[in-house]
Amino acid sequence: MARLERSTPSFVIRHATRGGLIALAAWLAGCASLLGIEELSPDPDPAKGGAGQAGSATGATGGKAGSTGTGGTAGAAGGRAGASGSSGAAGAAARAGSSSGGSSGNGVGGNSGAGGSTGGSAGSGGTVAGSGGEGGVPPVEGGTVTGNVIDFWRHPIPNVPVRIGDETVITDATGKFVIEDVAATYDAACVITLANPAKVYEWVYLGLSRRDPTLQVTEAFNSYEAIFSVSQVNGGTFGDDLWMVGFGSENGSDSDTADSAGFYRRPDWWGPSVNEWTLHSIFLERTGELPSKYVAYETQTATTNASGTTMEQAFEMDLTQQVFDTGNVTGAIVEDTGVGRTNSVFVRFTSGGNVPLVDRVATSASSYQYLVPTLANGSITIAAAETHDDDSYTIAHRDGRNVGDTGVDIVIPSPVTGLAPLDETMGVDSDTAFSFAAGDPDNSGYVVHIESEEYQQGVYIVTANRQFTLGDVPVVTNNLIVPNGWHNWTVQTHGQFDSVDEMTGPNGYLDAFATSYYRPQGPQRESGAFTVSYQADFQAEP
């Protein structure tokens, strides 16, 4: 089989066109035997339920109202009930000169760890009774998982098979899924299938315990393309001036520089068939590669739809000089290695658009000072990146900045290194150990991406562990890991996380630079970092 050549450096995996791809119906038919998550997270033995904890025997002192103790629930089947709390102790006297505390409350024994029901009454000179003893707290035994599946743009994804343990369900129209009787710790997997072009990816989330996970994936909908032509008036012929246009929406964004004659642009969007765009035109003067004066800013809106994506829409932007509120943003950069170091500055708009004011300017200076404007519905993002010879890449950014901000410091983290199996390893099977070094020592959340070099298909593994085998994760081996086929794998990080639970919060975890690398996109507006390791190739066993 011929190998596909790598592009260096490109950060883009090239794929050959596959003749055909297995249908979703086949996936669902074989789901029980292929995903196999139940092998990783077996349910606990029902005969070994945990015990409820005993309630406290001591009531609160006088001066606080007595309250009823709350009982702990019973442990799982086979476990003993928690002991009841005894009667609350007499409330202590609340004021000096009192002769005694209140009388003891009457505790009520519960079958499932009930606490003392009543605290001591007020003592002589005291004001109110002490509280009753608290009931036992049962150990975590799992239960129902109610989750959601979303994409990079936070669109809910319907009709996605989600598997936990030995049960597979399909997300509803809002991307929601419900699975009952899930163990305290579990693994989850979902399968994303696209028809045009044909793609299949499984996303695996290992070591979850939260009952409300949001499983975020990068791509889940076919894309549509708009066609815009943009021209200008009152800008004359450009010298060192720079004209940029950004295209913003809730479902896609793009930006480009233009010369005095204007330009064509074909921005993509994902999700709904109709998309509302805002065009942001910024005209500025530069000294070298840095802004020195802002001249003109204008916005216009457009609507595109899937049935009319081939229809060109034309726009004329006015570059007449205006007056702007401008000022500097300053700070310092803490490098990782300093290799291939560049700085960038963006205006990010609430429309979803972004426009680069400083675009990947090479520098080695530790401090920076950039002139930025105040624009309606916009804020400033400062980013610093390193591009290494081995194709590893890292970018750190501070978002939500404004004119006059100082001390906007950025620390560039290390990308993951030390990938094993090594590049060009052959005969990788379900027992081959995959491992990698930590990279950023303050991060414990990783995304391992394994991609076929023949077809647009693969596996994403979201994990806190830095060592695994393919046999340890619910990989659909006979479809996504191609027997005898070559694959590449990389490890991404999306900021700093303590666990996979933290990565599956309601807004997802994917960094704003996760899909474009050089431009912030999507709804994520928090400062952070994105890294991707160098790429290693392996050949699966026949």
Mean pLDDT of the chain: 80
Higher pLDDT, 504 or 51: 504
- The residue behind tokens 């806190």 is 464
Buried b / exposed e along 37-46 (16+ C-beta atoms within 10 A): bbebbebeee
Q: Which residues contact 162 (CB under 8 A, 6 or more apart)?
A: 147, 149, 168, 169, 170, 171, 177, 179, 188, 189, 190, 215
CB 177 within 8 A of CB 213: no
Q: How confident is the model over 19-37, as pLDDT tens digits?
A: 333 333 333 333 333 333 3
Largest CA distance in the chain: 96
pLDDT at position 511: 98
Q: How confident is the model at residue 3 (pLDDT cuts 50, 70, 90)?
A: very low
CA-closest candidate to residue 301, choices 315, 320, 321: 315
Please compute the mean of the pLDDT values over residues 40-50 and round it to a whole number. Answer: 34
Q: How confident is the model at residue 308 (pLDDT cuts 50, 70, 90)?
A: low
pLDDT at position 56: 37
Are β-strands 274-287 and 290-305 bridged in parallel, bridged antiparallel, or unpaired? Answer: antiparallel
pTM of the model: 0.75
- In angstroms, the CA 383 to CA 345 distance is 6
Q: In order of start, what are the domains of the chain with their CATH numbers?
A: 49-140 (no CATH), 223-318 (2.60.40.10), 326-411 (2.60.40)
CA-closest candidate to residue 322, choices 297, 357, 356: 297
The yes-or-no verdict on residue 80 having pLDDT over 50 is no
